[in-house]
Amino acid sequence: MLYPIDTLTRQVKELNGIWRFKLGNGKGLAEKWYEQELTDTVPMPVPASYNDIYEDKKYYKHIGFVWYEKKFMIPDLWKDKRIVIRIGSATHNSIVWINGKKVIEHVGGYTPFEGEISDEINFNKENRITIAVNNILDLTTIPIGQLQFKSKKYKKLKYYFDFFNYSGIHRPVKLYITPKQYIEDVEISTLVLANSGIVSYSIKTSSDSNIDIEIIDNNEIVANASGYKGEVTIDNPTLWEPNEGYLYTFRIKLIDEHGNIIDTYDERFGIRSIKVKENQFLINNKPFYFKGFGKHEDNYIIGRGYNDVFNIKDFSLMKWIGANSFRTSHYPYSEEIMRLADEEGIVVIDESPAVGLNLNIHISSDDIINLDNGDKIQLPNTWDVVDCQKNHLKVMEELINRDKNHPSVVMWSIANEPASEDEGAYEYFKPIVELTKKLDPYRPVTIVEYQGALPFNSRITNLIDVITLNRYYGWYIASGDLDYTKELLRRELIWWWDLYNKPIMMTEYGTDTILGLTSTTSLMWTEEYQEEFLKVYHEIFDELDFFIGEHVWNFADFATDEDITRVNGNKKGIFTRNRKPKKAAYLLKNRWNNIPNYGYK
């Protein structure tokens, strides 16, 4: 899937801005709201989550469909072109109409979707786009959830993840045009040799024509090729490196029989290689050490909405603190963030939205209250209950199709904290891992393990290339006891290595910390405890030569659902939600700026 850009043959028109918005009442589809202009609307910014925009809590708590509408004009210059509508993401399921005619239906809240609308467009009057977005999750969706009816009047959407279920049109809405004959897609992979780089490519087009290729560096053509598939060698290339995001331009020209350009597209790419070997993670044949965070797309007011200002600020803070990487926990981030990571040289572990595939760790007080008298809590086998493998396969295909050419992406994370110890986990994940490796044989694969998955009971470790662990010794387990934490952590990490001989990294470790809460004895929730906690983990990390990286949880405080364990959100951030540093930020800055990207282990 090609990202929309302007070229000599293509043009992009953004539909971002103020849209008309209306909460659904369960009758919108039946009453065909899309056939006429919406009534009783309020203004709503796009892209943004709708939950925090208005002071009425009905927006914050809404369950079900919401409706968006916007009018737009199309220039006559577009008449003989292929016109496409593209939505960066809408959470979670969407239907799109143009002038009352359905053109797209998409399941999934974190990947882009698009459709041709050339036949639905009016060129001599206004056009109307209507988008219905539904935030309900069930046991077939990725991520999963359940709509629960607590009484005849009260319903609740139970979701199995610890971040707020922000909803709406979260990423840019764009119109773009291509010629009727057009370039559909390009796949680029690279290999680093001693004094050269090999660039392999494969191109898809809507019809058979000639293909010319140019690889451009600093406005100079450094290599040429032709044909739909091939290899190009670049001598003495400048490599894409962590913190040094050097990019080339891969220019594709679709040529007719007379030598005229039909369509052209530029794909930015970096030359770098990835390999897992014994106890090391190699980038450009050098042992790389991950330093960084699990993050969230989360900010005040706009929620999960895309925003250039916040993204640039976050990348600036990551560079300031000495980070070289992050994980897109727990869903694919915007295409614009991925492009920024390419440019800035930030390494990315790219994660699917498969979070919460673990019913056992989400038994709540509500579940207990609603048990009939005499019932006992029966912990379910997750894989007997969920029916989401089909959508999981689909979202991995969408994710890889979207992000395959990003040099910043070095590993696919297929899921976060699944019930890997339950019978059926291997059977569930095996075809997903196989599909991932088939679609991308060049990048390693991981599945992030939760605290209850241990070396002796995990059923999925043999499927993956790198062991990634979320561990909270000293917080949820051995709370406040950092001496015991040290013993537990060291013992478990060595256990994993002894059984599997695969490199290990920590994808989550951290403590809830309130800015300004202090204690001379480093009590839990204080800034001092967060510092001491990190020091204990780092001491163990540094002892182990098979340990390849550390991602603190979290980069910044973030919103969660209302809960007695979450005081206005999750406070495990090294920065506050408005990006102010806690004391631990300076500890990490000192540590990470003294750990090289290569050769630390």
Q: Provide CATH code, domain 11-178.
A: 2.60.120.260
pLDDT for the residue 151: 77
Q: Considering 417, 421, 449, 492, which one is annotated as catalytic?
A: 417
Q: What residue ranges do the domains of the chain occupy?
A: 11-178, 183-272, 275-362+377-592
Whether this prediction's pTM lies above 0.85 is answered by yes
How far apart (Å, rounded) are the C-alpha atoms in residues 126 and 134? 26
Would you state the pLDDT for residue 150?
74
Task: Provide the strand spans (E) within 401-533.
Answer: 409-416, 445-449, 467-470, 504-508
> What residues form DSSP beta bridges with 253?
212, 264
Q: 183-272 — its CATH code? A: 2.60.40.10
Q: In CATH terms, are 11-178 and 275-362+377-592 the same topology?
A: no
Which amino acid, 356?
G
Sequential DSSP letters for 527-570: HHHHHHHHHHHHHHHHH-TTEEEEEEE-SB-B----BTTBSSSB
Check 69, 351, 398, 508 and give the catalytic one. 508
Distance between CA atoms of 226 and 451, rounded to whole angstroms?
A: 51
**Based on the number of CB atoms within 10 Å of its own CB, is 252 exposed (0-12), middle (13-18) or buried (19 or more)?**
buried
Q: Is the dihedral of CA 53, 57, 60, 64 positive or negative?
A: negative
Query: Which pLDDT score, from 0 to 100, does residue 362 have?
Result: 61
Instruction: Report the amino acid identity of residue 304.
Output: R
User: 275-362+377-592, superfamily in CATH?
Assistant: Glycosidases (3.20.20.80)
pLDDT digits (tens, 9 = 90+) for 82-112: 999 999 999 999 999 999 999 999 999 999 9
The span from the CA of 497 to the CA of 480, in Å, is 27
Q: What is the pLDDT of residue 377?
A: 56
55 is annotated as an active-site residue:
no
pLDDT the model gives residue 380:
82
Q: Is 22 helix (H, G, I), strand (E, B) or coil?
A: strand
Active site residue 417: yes
Q: Report the C-alpha gap between 337 and 479 in whole angstroms.
A: 36
pLDDT of residue 374: 47
Segment-wise mean pLDDT, segments of 10 residues, the chain, 601 residues: 97 98 96 97 98 97 98 94 98 97 98 98 95 98 91 85 96 98 98 96 96 97 96 97 98 96 98 98 98 98 97 98 98 98 99 94 50 56 96 98 99 98 97 99 98 94 98 96 97 97 98 97 97 98 98 98 89 98 99 97 88
pLDDT for res 376: 52
Residue 369: per-residue pLDDT: 42
| Element housing 217 (H / E) | strand 210-217
Residue 357: exposure state from Cβ atoms within 10 A (0-12, 13-18, ≥19): buried
